[in-house]
Amino acid sequence: MNVEHLVKMANQIGSFFESMPDHQQAMTDLTSHLTRNWEPRMRRELLAYIEERGGAGLKPFVLEAIQRHPGELQ
């Protein structure tokens, strides 16, 4: 899968959750959404991208959420 496409999708999903009033809950909900709706290969590729490239291109909210809950995505 194209990592740029994964970043774009994660940012779009993140835009929705970022608008929630409870920031901590929004981050939990974002990672839960990715776990439920993305196949494991997609999640692994996104995590590897963050590890290798620091998550360049990801919205700060999305990057923070994933870094706070990496175990949920594995």
Burial (CB count <10 Å: 0-12, 13-18, 19+), residue 52: exposed
pLDDT confidence of residue 73: 87
Is pLDDT of 72 > 90? no
Is pLDDT of 1 > 90? no
Per-domain residue ranges of the chain: 3-73
Of 41, 33, 40, 42, nearest to 62 by C-alpha is 33
The tokens describing 62, both together, are: 């999305």
pLDDT digits (tens, 9 = 90+) for 4-51: 999 999 999 999 999 999 999 999 999 999 999 999 999 999 999 999
Q: How would residue 74 be classed by pLDDT, with cut points 50, 70 and 90?
A: confident
DSSP secondary structure string, 42-55? Answer: HHHHHHHHHHHHTT
**More reliable by pLDDT, 61 or 73:** 61
